[in-house]
């Protein structure tokens, strides 16, 4: 049996995977043109590059109106405020996501109500949403996580029955489709991040898709310092400067040219990976929902069974994978345990006024806890950009680690001890 790279053996993947983000002369020319034009900023909103990007993004993703902002967190804050959601309102969010999904409601003065996820997709569990609804509930923020989409049919049904706003957090879902409909176009709002790790990026940036014209006008006013954007010029709001800059929009106008081919390539490699990975012992594949008609891959997530990996939890497997040359991550911590989401560390008004919602020690979210403490492995999307070889190497490394850990669980202990030092 070959020795693991973590113990000095030969790496499964000696050559680094391709870096992200990608760029070529087109990016340099696009930014140079903006620099020379002297029109760098986002005021007056929208600038020509920004308007072009919004048009192209809506054409690609679908949806009615687009609002371009600085990142994929303020998108959600702006959406909530445009929908009139604020102080003391409850917003249901999944326990397994980046902190922004819960921080945005707090920035709008609302209370994030954290619920568990579906173990088959790691996306928000519709039953948990239903169970969490109270007379104060105003919105749901489902997150399309990694390469999966939340069950939008069930979520829209709940939202319609309870008259709730739906904001799809699509930070991982550019290009994804649910029954042919673009992610972010099914709910009232779709929130996209263009931060540097995202599959369409300008380093930082955000795009909000909005279903109703009135809410789009309101969103534009909120993100443009309160200026009116309705045709009558009558709708002023309490706003701030969240405008996208022209430099960022110029980069996005190039990124979106490359995007359709990237989606196709990742889909092909994702299908290939599904087949190869499903044969690895101790690996549980997440569910591929037939209604998720186009998959985009921010990260490829699968679950491991520690009992079949000599007792190793996902952090140990990720450490071993790193040594094998495979870029991966054990994923977020569950929201109530997450270092970045500790609102009591600051003097924010929402946790101060509603402390009963922030008693994290008392929260039990077993599926999110299982994913974040034991079983989820997030493979970097760069494994797909290297084609079949990239996927083969990643799968071979998981197989190698599984075989070695299962044959000799004492090596798992050795790694754990080394990691704890």
Ligand X SMILES: Cc1ncc(COP(=O)(O)O)c(C=O)c1O
Does the footprint of ligand X cover residue 171 (CB under 6 A)? yes
* Closest-approach residue to ligand X (CB): 72
Candidates 123, 143, 286, 412: give the one binding ligand X (CB under 6 A): 143
**Is the distance from CB of 286 to CB of 148 less than 8 angstroms?**
yes
Looking at the Cβ atoms of 72 and 175, the one nearer to ligand X is 72
Looking at the Cβ atoms of 128 and 171, the one nearer to ligand X is 171
Does the footprint of ligand X cover residue 208 (CB under 6 A)? no
Candidates 68, 92, 95, 100: give the one binding ligand X (CB under 6 A): 100
Does the footprint of ligand X cover residue 202 (CB under 6 A)? no
In whole angstroms, how close is the CB of 319 to ligand X at the nearest point? 23
Does the footprint of ligand X cover residue 93 (CB under 6 A)? no
Does the footprint of ligand X cover residue 201 (CB under 6 A)? no
Looking at the Cβ atoms of 147 and 411, the one nearer to ligand X is 147
Looking at the Cβ atoms of 282 and 327, the one nearer to ligand X is 327
Does the footprint of ligand X cover residue 71 (CB under 6 A)? yes
Query: Per residue, what are the HEC states of the chain?
Result: CCCCHHHCCCCCCCCCCCCCCCCCHHHHHHHHHHHHHCCCCCCCCCCHHHHHHHHHHHHHHCCCEEEEECCCCHHHHHHHHHCCCCCCCEEEEECCCCCHHHHHHHHCCCEEEEECECCCCCCECHHHHHHHCCCCEEEECCECCCCCCCCHHHHHHHHHHHCCEEEEECCCCCCCEECCEECCCCCCEEEEECCCCCCCCCCCCEEEEECCHHHHHHHHHHHECCCCCCCCCCCCCCCCECECCHHHHHHHHHHHHHHHHHHHHHHHHHHHHHHHHCCCCCEEECCCCCCCCECCCCEEEEEECHHHHCCCCHHHHHHHHHHCCCCEECCCCCHHHCCCCCHHHCCCHHHHHCHHHHCHHHCCCHHHHHHHHHHEEEEECHHHHCHHHHHHHHHHHHHHHHHHHHHCCHHHHHHHHHHHC
Does the footprint of ligand X cover residue 97 (CB under 6 A)? yes
Candidates 50, 73, 237, 402: give the one binding ligand X (CB under 6 A): 73
Does the footprint of ligand X cover residue 193 (CB under 6 A)? yes
Of 216, 205, 280, which Cα lies nearest the Cα of 245?
Answer: 205
Does the footprint of ligand X cover residue 169 (CB under 6 A)? yes
In whole angstroms, how close is the CB of 118 to ligand X at the nearest point? 16
Does the footprint of ligand X cover residue 206 (CB under 6 A)? yes
Looking at the Cβ atoms of 108 and 415, the one nearer to ligand X is 108
Does the footprint of ligand X cover residue 98 (CB under 6 A)? yes
Looking at the Cβ atoms of 335 and 403, the one nearer to ligand X is 335
Looking at the Cβ atoms of 74 and 280, the one nearer to ligand X is 74
In whole angstroms, how close is the CB of 144 to ligand X at the nearest point? 8
Looking at the Cβ atoms of 97 and 253, the one nearer to ligand X is 97
Does the footprint of ligand X cover residue 31 (CB under 6 A)? no
Does the footprint of ligand X cover residue 150 (CB under 6 A)? no
Positions touching ligand X (CB under 6 A) are 71-73, 97-98, 100-101, 143, 169, 171-172, 193, 195, 206
């Amino acid at each position: 049996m070959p020795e693991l790279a973590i113990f000095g053996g030969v790496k499964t993947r000696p050559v680094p995977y391709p870096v992200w983000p990608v760029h070529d002369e087109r990016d340099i020319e696009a930014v140079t043109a903006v620099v020379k034009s002297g029109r760098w900023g986002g005021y007056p909103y929208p600038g020509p590059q920004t308007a072009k990007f919004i048009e192209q993004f809506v054409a690609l993703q679908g949806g009615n109106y687009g609002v371009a902002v600085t990142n994929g967190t303020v998108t959600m804050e702006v959406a909530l405020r445009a929908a009139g959601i604020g102080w003391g309102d409850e917003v249901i969010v999944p326990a397994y996501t980046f902190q922004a999904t819960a921080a945005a409601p707090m920035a709008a003065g609302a209370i994030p109500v954290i619920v568990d996820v579906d173990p088959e997709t790691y996306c928000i569990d519709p039953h948990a949403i239903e169970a969490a609804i109270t007379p104060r509930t105003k919105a749901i923020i489902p997150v399309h996580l990694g390469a999966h989409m939340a069950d939008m049919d069930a979520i829209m049904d709940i939202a319609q029955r309870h008259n709730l706003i739906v904001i799809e957090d699509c930070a991982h879902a550019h290009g994804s489709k649910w029954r042919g409909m673009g992610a972010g176009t099914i709910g009232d709002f779709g929130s996209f991040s263009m931060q540097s790790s995202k599959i369409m990026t300008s380093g930082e940036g955000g795009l909000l898709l909005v279903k109703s014209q009135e809410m789009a006008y309101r969103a534009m006013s909120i993100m443009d310092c309160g200026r009116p954007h309705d045709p009558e010029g009558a709708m002023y709001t309490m706003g701030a400067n969240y405008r996208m800059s022209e430099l960022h929009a110029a980069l996005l106008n190039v990124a979106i040219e490359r995007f359709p081919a990237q989606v196709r390539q990742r889909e092909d490699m994702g299908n290939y990976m599904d087949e190869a990975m499903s044969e690895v012992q101790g690996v549980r594949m997440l569910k591929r929902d037939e209604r998720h008609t186009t998959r985009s891959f921010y990260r490829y997530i699968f679950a491991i069974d520690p009992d079949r990996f000599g007792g190793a939890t996902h952090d140990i497997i990720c450490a071993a994978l790193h040594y094998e040359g495979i870029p991966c991550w054990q994923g977020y911590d569950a929201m109530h345990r997450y270092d970045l989401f500790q609102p009591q560390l600051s003097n924010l008004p929402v946790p101060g006024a509603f402390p009963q919602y922030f008693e994290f020690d008392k929260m039990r979210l077993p599926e999110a806890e299982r994913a974040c403490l034991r079983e989820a492995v997030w493979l970097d999307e760069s494994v797909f950009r290297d084609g079949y070889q990239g996927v083969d190497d990643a799968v071979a490394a998981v197989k190698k680690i599984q075989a070695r850990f299962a044959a000799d669980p004492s090596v798992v202990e050795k790694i754990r001890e080394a990691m704890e030092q």
